Amino acid sequence: MAVDTPRRTPTGKLPEPDLGTGLIPKERYLTPEFMALEWDRLWTRVWNLACPLSDIPDVGDYFAFELGPESIIVVRSEPDRVRAFYNTCQHRGRRLREAGTGHAPELQCPYHLWTYGLDGRVTSAPDADDFPQGDPTEGVCLADLPCEAWNGWVFVNMDPDAAPLHDFLGPLPEHLDPYDFGAQYHLVEDISMLWECNWKVGVDAFNEVYHVQGIHPELLSFTDDVDCPIDILGNHSRFLFRVGYPSPRWTDELARREGYRDRNQVTAMMRVIMEGAGLDADQFDGRLDEVRPALFEARREHGRRNGLAYGALTDEQLTDDFHYFIFPNITLNISADHFWFFRHRPHPTDPERMFWEFQTYVRLPPGVDPPPRPDRIDCVFGDGTERKLHLALQQDAAAAPPVQAGMRSRGYEGLYLAHQERRIRHFHRVLDQYLFGG
């Protein structure tokens, strides 16, 4: 009898394109001209992730968000239909809704009370017969834009002639469908933070692990930042970050400096990981090669006991950080039980500022009610909110503004990238294809 094997995320190494060796010129991080070019040729032509479908579960739910100078509202108009509109009243142009989630059986503009149905049509307007050019209820509509869903997320595209989302995603569904984000994971944390840097400084920072030894040295005893396979996936990319094994950079000397006997002693962080999986950490002292196989088995058992749908995931996915970048501005750190979502959003007017959005989603067993959606925290890096973040993210956030500041120097021309930073090079190549063609 044939048995259905769930499709699994490919983990084999893929061939890579030649990405060249040139400097990435710094002007793209600094100038209003480059920012304008990005607006005209990237943001208004690319598929942009709007929100998780879980933000708009019921008819009448909406999610409004800002992207550069634009604001878009995504609406659940029918049980199985989601539409996207520019968030602008067609009367005198007032923005209809502030950014965020909400519910309304129809969208009424607060200014002169024009009311729109969930299909975008004007359904009522005071003194509707006072418009000599035509009653607005007889055909005026919100301006809509292409809108599609995949794997629990809604995407929109400001290009009315956009190719289908599936074409844009390329190999990503094959890689990420096994996680089944929409059904298995639930939003529990939502922060938007103003950073004093260009949005691409944010993207770049999350596309390499070369900086781990510099700003996250505490990760070295339990993650491998050296053997970290990279794959280019069409417009997108990923790396696989092994957890539960020390970096080659975690040397005996470094371990001794941190108070350990040698690099093979179980560190405090390694102990947290093992004990979290129900393993006796002391059993593994000096035998760190055996930690990952034990973690695979322990986590598989944890899934069985707790009814977690791990069936489509490989052993490595149960333990490691599967790190995906969805062009142009989404970063995902995915593990079996949770994932981190980062969006690097351009500022509406200033090329040297960005909004860094951070969300955490956790996996729950089927049938368990998810927690209520958390309110979004809007903040500015430096106001203290960053202390709520995981230490590594505090370090990433602190590292970004000095990069922007340094780039302004007359003594700097552009990014001189290592081979292990080639996801950054690839990102800029795809960006260039949008901006300059070819």
> Residues in the site for ligand FES, rule: CB under 6 A?
89, 91-92, 94, 109, 111-112, 114
User: Closer to ligand FES at the Cβ: 85 or 181?
Assistant: 85
User: Closer to ligand FES at the Cβ: 7 or 92?
Assistant: 92
From the list ligand FES, Fe ion, none, partner contacted by residue 74 (C-beta under 5 to 8 A by kind): none
From the list Fe ion, ligand FES, none, partner contacted by residue 416 (C-beta under 5 to 8 A by kind): none
Report the DSSP beta bridge partners of residue 193: 356, 379
| Secondary element (H or E) of residue 182 | helix 181-184
* CB-CB contact of 216 with 410 (8 Å): no
User: Closer to ligand FES at the Cβ: 141 or 403?
Assistant: 141
User: Among the candidate windows 4-12, 19-27, 265-273, 388-396, which touches Fe ion by CB under 5 A?
Assistant: 388-396
Q: Which residue has the tokens 């048995």?
A: 3
- CA–CA separation, 172 vs 151, rounded Å? 10
Minimal CB distance residue for Fe ion? 396
* Long-range CB contacts for residues 87-96, cutoff 8 Å, separation at least 24: 88/142, 88/143, 89/114, 89/142, 90/114, 90/122, 90/136, 90/140, 90/141, 90/142, 90/143, 91/125, 91/136, 95/71, 96/64, 96/142
- CA–CA separation, 203 vs 395, rounded Å? 15
Q: Which two tokens stand for residue 30?
A: 């600094």
| Secondary element (H or E) of residue 38 | helix 32-38
Of 396, 397, 415, 434, the one binding Fe ion (CB under 5 A) is 396
Query: How many H-runs (helices) and E-runs (strands) does the chain carry?
Result: 12, 22
β-pairing verdict for 377-380 and 185-195 = parallel
From the list Fe ion, ligand FES, none, partner contacted by residue 89 (C-beta under 5 to 8 A by kind): ligand FES
From the list ligand FES, Fe ion, none, partner contacted by residue 434 (C-beta under 5 to 8 A by kind): none
From the list Fe ion, ligand FES, none, partner contacted by residue 373 (C-beta under 5 to 8 A by kind): none
From the list Fe ion, ligand FES, none, partner contacted by residue 109 (C-beta under 5 to 8 A by kind): ligand FES
User: Closer to ligand FES at the Cβ: 19 or 99?
Assistant: 99
User: Among the candidate windows 113-121, 125-133, 341-349, 393-401, which touches Fe ion by CB under 5 A?
Assistant: 393-401
User: Closer to ligand FES at the Cβ: 111 or 412?
Assistant: 111
Q: Specify burial of residue 433 (Cβ count, 10 A radius: 0-12, 13-18, 19+).
A: middle
User: Closer to ligand FES at the Cβ: 107 or 230?
Assistant: 107
From the list ligand FES, Fe ion, none, partner contacted by residue 208 (C-beta under 5 to 8 A by kind): none
Report the DSSP beta bridge partners of residue 394: none
User: Closer to ligand FES at the Cβ: 95 or 300?
Assistant: 95
User: Closer to ligand FES at the Cβ: 106 or 350?
Assistant: 106
From the list ligand FES, Fe ion, none, partner contacted by residue 94 (C-beta under 5 to 8 A by kind): ligand FES
* CB-CB contact of 72 with 145 (8 Å): yes
Kindly give the interhelix angle for 291-306 and 268-276, rounded to the nearest 10 degrees.
30
Q: Which residue has the tokens 């930690």?
A: 291
From the list Fe ion, ligand FES, none, partner contacted by residue 396 (C-beta under 5 to 8 A by kind): Fe ion
Residue 1 identity (one-letter amino acid): M
Report the nearest approach of ligand FES to the CB of residue 65 (Å).
20
From the list ligand FES, Fe ion, none, partner contacted by residue 92 (C-beta under 5 to 8 A by kind): ligand FES
User: Closer to Fe ion at the Cβ: 63 or 358?
Assistant: 358
- CA–CA separation, 387 vs 359, rounded Å? 15
Residue 168 CA, distance from chain mean position: 16
Report the nearest approach of Fe ion to the CB of residue 219 (Å).
9
User: Closer to Fe ion at the Cβ: 210 or 260?
Assistant: 210
From the list Fe ion, ligand FES, none, partner contacted by residue 91 (C-beta under 5 to 8 A by kind): ligand FES
Report the nearest approach of ligand FES to the CB of residue 218 (Å).
53
Report the nearest approach of ligand FES to the CB of residue 408 (Å).
41
- CA–CA separation, 149 vs 210, rounded Å? 34
User: Among the candidate windows 137-145, 307-315, 374-382, 396-404, which touches Fe ion by CB under 5 A?
Assistant: 396-404
Q: Which two tokens stand for residue 214?
A: 């510099």
Report the nearest approach of Fe ion to the CB of residue 267 (Å).
19
User: Closer to Fe ion at the Cβ: 163 or 391?
Assistant: 391
Report the nearest approach of ligand FES to the CB of residue 101 (Å).
21
- CA–CA separation, 386 vs 395, rounded Å? 10
Q: What is the binding site for Fe ion (CB under 5 A)?
A: 396
